[in-house]
Amino acid sequence: MGLTADEFTIQFIATLVKFAIVAGLLLQIPPVMVWVERRVPAMMQRRKGPNRVGIFKWRIYGLMQSLADTIKLIFKEEVVPEGAQKAFYHLAPVFSVFPAFLIAMAIPYGPDIHAFGTTIPLSIIRVDVGFLFIFAVSSLAVYGVTIAGWASNNKYSLLGSLRASAQMISYEIPLGMSLIPIVLIYGTLDLNKIVEAQSHFWKWGVFLSPVSFLLFLIAMFAETNRAPFDLAEAEGELVAGFHTEYTSAKFAAFFLGEYVSMFVLSCLASTVFFGGWQVPFFSVQKLDDLTGFIGVSALIGHVTLMLKATFFMWLYIWVRWTIPRFRYDQLMSLGWKYMIPLGLVNVVVTAVVIAAFRFS
Amino acid sequence: MNPYIPVLIVLIFGLTLGAILSGLAAFLGPKNPRPEKIDPYECGVPKVTGANEKMSVKFYLTAILFILFDIETIFLYLWAKAFPQLGWFGVAEVMVFMVILVAGYIYVVKRGALEWD
Amino acid sequence: MSDFSLLMTHGVFHLFAALITLCSVLVVMSKHPVKSAVFLVVDLFLLAGLYATLDSHFVAAIQVLVYAGAIVVLFLFVIMLLNLQPEQLRGLKFSAVEAGTLVISLVGFLITVVATFKGDQTGLGDGSLDPVAIEAAGGNTYVVAMKLLTNYIWPFELASVLILMAIVAAVVIAKKDKKKTSAPIS
Amino acid sequence: MVPVDFYFVLACLIFSLGLFGALFRRNLIMVLMSIELMLNAVNLVFVAAGRAIGNVDGQVMVLFVITVAACEAAVGLAMVIALFRKYGTVNTDILRLLRG
């Protein structure tokens, strides 16, 4: 709409390039995170963790362990349990992977680039409904879990999947409600505009709406089925939850989906509450003019966002090794009896305060 | 450019990647299934009952309440988007909406539909 | 609008229409309820795509969020809860009322098709809702929100009453009394 | 753009399929799913017609239809569960015989 043919070509190529970069980044996350998730607890418990595997004589802290694991995983035998619903059994990993990739493309990874006579946004998907797109697509992730558990013909899988999906849908409401005050404050659903509105350090979402941040943080852990809410795959009781019967590359697919959605929620938390690609006390957009190179601002902004997201990824692991697992009834009553009322009160209070200031 | 062209590209990529990961194992890796191996894994104990035991109705009640609160959240998002223009009028409108739904919520809590015993 | 873009728009519509029809047939004809539910999800997702081509972004989003992400999950839960087995599709036996309704619906469908392709069209325009004007007014979501909260106040408030009644009804119907409850697995 | 009549034909097709399913299937859950299909056909008409006329009222209507659909699914499935608990089946043929 309203674009010349040249602009269309530039935008299309830019989309492909951005997509290739982000997809490449996302595919690196599970291997690195698997390594981090073994090294960090080792550090916390004063063990060494995996440190042997390396290339020739360079061990680089065992980073190649993940590569070895990946190769091993892919070449393992695939065991399809007897009595499984074959079609659904093979379909479930697909349902688990594609929503994660789709939502990852809606995050603004940096400030807009003004080049080639047009504006190139650094988020790949930018639709009118803003971050409702992320909620909409991530609500599809439930199917991967539900179908995987049901198709495996294993009662632990089924129970794990029902628990996991009930948990995911329960915490979708607090997750949605926690961001309503953000819309009230910044007046937009567009993530990029929300980031631009946080140009001043004290205007970050976490200062303007701390309760929202708390709700979002808790819901974020529960949405991804991570500790302390990892009841779906409570090792002691349910074997491994909904992916008990999955082996080889299909198992890897579930891991990919889980880690990518963790990363996306980390990025979303940094974007909405911690200024996204904004550097505190410094205007990133001016960097292009200061240095004379187009794209410096985008690069710095991108690195800033990645650092913030890395903090949240670290938090995931930190919390996992700090807080013990909840019971299922505690989990559900936390979600339904505390977080939803708190979310509603938060919305009402924010609205009344803003209205009192603006329309008095 | 239509904002849904990237959506289509990513969707196709995601589906392809999922399908590749799901189909990869069929080509790589050995295949020698034995009866013990393809038995559903229950910690080595032979299975007593089938997988499709009847499940607690709680899960269902959770799902039902989720739908209804989900719709409420969507209406709240619409209001939040129009909030700057509507002002106090919008706040009053949503207050009425919310009070009615909170009555339902209180009923659900009082009735014990959210108890997981 | 150029020829190429016109071709693309039509192509996208016809592709989606064909897929939606196919999925709808599969929803109705699948023996296994879970299969029907999965095809229903795909169907709803494709319909959301069609809404997106109609510049109804917000409707497309809630179509996925509520229909595909919530209502069909509920269907799946109930199917798993009741442990339904594939149903034996019976032959085409209808009662008189059912057959009559079916014939009427088919006749209505044929009339619509014939009317469309005879050129006797409804006379409605083809997309006078200008996307650029909507964009200038604050975007699709904003326009829908303003419409809902100014022109449709009463339906909006009544919707909350409807949801309240649904909550109460569902809990009353589905919740067992405490004493009858057999020990749940969870 | 695609003429609005095409959307009407598609909606009519989906509606007919949904009606067929609601009448033909004997599983109550399948009947409810077919009804969802019919409601979706209505939504499509609302959106397409609203766009053709040139206002967003059609889209607002879809919001209400979706609310109604959600409530219908919630209450309908609650009734299905209650029926199943009482009679042990969701087959409408058998339930009709049990009506007494």
In this complex, the residue of C33, C55, C112 whose CB is nearest that of residue D30 is C33
The mean pLDDT of chain A is 85
Question: Is residue A352 within 8 Å of residue B91, measured between CB atoms?
Answer: yes
Mean pLDDT along residues C76-86:
79
Mean pLDDT along residues C26-43:
88
Between C112 and D72, whose confidence is greater? Answer: D72
**Cβ within 8 Å, pair C186-A128:** no
Closest approach of B11 to chain D, Cα-based (Å)? 23
Q: Using a CB-CB distance cutoff of 8 angstroms, which residues of chain D are in contact with residue C78?
A: 29, 77, 80-81
D87 to chain C, any CB pair closer than 8 A? The answer is no
Do at least 3 CB pairs under 8 Å connect A with D?
A: no
Between A326 and A184, whose confidence is greater? Answer: A184
B57 to chain D, any CB pair closer than 8 A? The answer is yes
pLDDT band, residue C180 (cuts 50/70/90): very low
Answer yes or no: is pLDDT of A211 > 90.
Answer: yes
Domain boundaries, chain B: 4-111
CATH 3.10.129.10 fits B4-111, yes or no: no
Alpha carbon distance C75, C82 (integer Å): 11
pLDDT band, residue C183 (cuts 50/70/90): very low
Identify the structural domains of chain D with CATH numbers, from first to last: 4-98 (1.10.287.3510)
Please report which residue ranges of chain A form alpha helices under DSSP H.
5-44, 64-74, 86-104, 132-138, 141-151, 155-178, 180-186, 191-197, 205-208, 210-223, 235-238, 248-273, 287-291, 296-320, 328-333, 340-358
Between D8 and A118, whose confidence is greater? Answer: D8
**Cβ within 8 Å, pair C81-B55:** yes
In a domain, A106, yes or no: yes
24-53 in chain D: CB under 8 A from chain C: 24-27, 29-30, 32-34, 36-37, 40, 43-44, 47-53
* Neighbouring-strand partners of residue A119: A114
In this complex, the residue of D67, D77, D81 whose CB is nearest that of residue B71 is D67
* Type of residue found at D43: N
Answer yes or no: is pLDDT of B6 > 90.
Answer: no
Residue matched to tokens 């063990």: A47
Structure confidence at residue A344 (pLDDT): 92
Give the chain C residue whose CA is nearest to the CA of A165: C73
C157 to chain B, any CB pair closer than 8 A? The answer is yes
**Cβ within 8 Å, pair B68-D74:** yes
Mean pLDDT along residues C117-129:
54
Mean pLDDT along residues D9-22:
86
Mean pLDDT along residues A183-209:
88
Structure confidence at residue C123 (pLDDT): 52
Q: Using a CB-CB distance cutoff of 8 angstroms, which residues of chain C are in contact with residue B66?
A: 70, 73-74
CA atoms within 13 A on the CB side of A12: 11
Residue matched to tokens 């969802």: D36
- Total Cβ atoms within 10 A of residue B99: 10
**Cβ within 8 Å, pair C148-D60:** yes
Axis-axis angle for helices D57-87, C72-82 (nearest 10)? 10
Reported as a single tens digit per residue, the pLDDT across D34-90 is: 999 999 999 999 998 888 877 788 889 999 999 999 999 999 998 888 888 888 778
Structure confidence at residue A10 (pLDDT): 83
Reported as a single tens digit per residue, the pLDDT across A336-359 is: 889 999 999 999 999 999 988 887
User: Does the structure's ipTM exceed the value 0.85?
Assistant: yes
Any idea how long chain D is?
A: 100
Q: How many residue pairs from chains C and D have C-beta atoms closer than 8 A?
A: 225
pLDDT band, residue A1 (cuts 50/70/90): very low
Q: Using a CB-CB distance cutoff of 8 angstroms, which residues of chain C are in contact with residue B108?
A: 167, 171
Q: Which residues contact A210 (CB under 8 A, 6 or more apart)?
A: none
DSSP letters along A266-311, please?
Answer: HHHHHHHHS-TTPPTTS-GGGHHHHH--TTHHHHHHHHHHHHHHHH
Tokens of A130: 């803003």
Tokens of A297: 């601002």
pLDDT band, residue A263 (cuts 50/70/90): very high
Structure confidence at residue A347 (pLDDT): 93
Question: Is residue A284 within 8 Å of residue A214, measured between CB atoms?
Answer: no
Mean pLDDT along residues A49-77:
80
Axis-axis angle for helices A296-320, A5-44 (nearest 10)? 30
pLDDT band, residue C161 (cuts 50/70/90): very high
Mean pLDDT along residues A22-30:
88
Mean pLDDT along residues A116-131:
81
Structure confidence at residue A174 (pLDDT): 92
Residue of C40, C44, C65, C135 to mutate, interface with A, max A Cβ within 10 Å: C65
Three-state DSSP state, A1: coil
Question: Is residue A54 within 8 Å of residue A67, measured between CB atoms?
Answer: no
Answer yes or no: is pLDDT of B86 > 80.
Answer: yes
Q: Using a CB-CB distance cutoff of 8 angstroms, which residues of chain C are in contact with residue D15?
A: 105, 109
**Cβ within 8 Å, pair B78-C168:** no
Fold of C1-86: Four Helix Bundle (Hemerythrin (Met), subunit A) (1.20.120)
Q: Please tell me the total count of domains within chain A.
A: 1
Closest approach of C185 to chain D, Cα-based (Å)? 17
In a domain, A59, yes or no: no
Tokens of C161: 């009453």
**Cβ within 8 Å, pair B71-D74:** no
Residue A327: burial class (beta carbons within 10 Å; 0-12, 13-18, 19+): exposed
Q: Using a CB-CB distance cutoff of 8 angstroms, which residues of chain C are in contact with residue B117?
A: 184
Q: Give whole-number Cα distances, A131 to A123, A220, B3, B83, in Å.
A: 12, 15, 14, 17
Query: Alpha-carbon Rg of chain C, whole angstroms?
Result: 22
Answer yes or no: is pLDDT of D30 > 60.
Answer: yes
The mean pLDDT of chain B is 81
Any idea how long chain C is?
A: 186
* Type of residue found at A314: W
Structure confidence at residue C176 (pLDDT): 67
Structure confidence at residue C91 (pLDDT): 55
Residue C102: burial class (beta carbons within 10 Å; 0-12, 13-18, 19+): middle
- ∠ CA A92-A94-A96, nearest 5°, is 75
Give chain D's count of helices (H) and strands (E). 4, 0
A113: phi then psi, degrees, rounded to nearest 5 = -100, 130
Least confident of A32-46, A136-150, A237-251: A237-251
B71 to chain C, any CB pair closer than 8 A? The answer is yes
Structure confidence at residue C185 (pLDDT): 46
Any long-range contacts for B102-109 (C-beta under 8 Å, 24+ apart)?
B102/A344, B103/C164, B104/B68, B104/C163, B104/C164, B104/C167, B104/C168, B105/A340, B105/A341, B105/C167, B107/C167, B107/C168, B107/C171, B108/B65, B108/C167, B108/C171, B109/A337
Least confident of A192-201, C84-93, C122-131: C122-131
Alpha carbon distance C7, A257 (integer Å): 36
Between A102 and B45, whose confidence is greater? Answer: A102
Reported as a single tens digit per residue, the pLDDT across A296-346 is: 888 888 899 999 999 999 999 888 888 888 888 888 888 888 999 999 999
Alpha carbon distance A220, A228 (integer Å): 11
Structure confidence at residue A80 (pLDDT): 78
Give the chain C residue whose CA is nearest to the CA of D22: C28
Mean pLDDT along residues A71-79:
81
Q: Which residues of D46-72 are buried (b: 16+ CB within 10 A; e: fewer)?
A: bbbbbbbeebbbbbbbbbbbbbebbbb
Least confident of B29-43, B94-108, D56-70: B29-43
The mean pLDDT of chain C is 78
Of B61, B63, B93, B99, give the one whose Cα is nearest residue B79.
B93
Per the structure, the complete domain to which residue A86 belongs is given by: 79-358
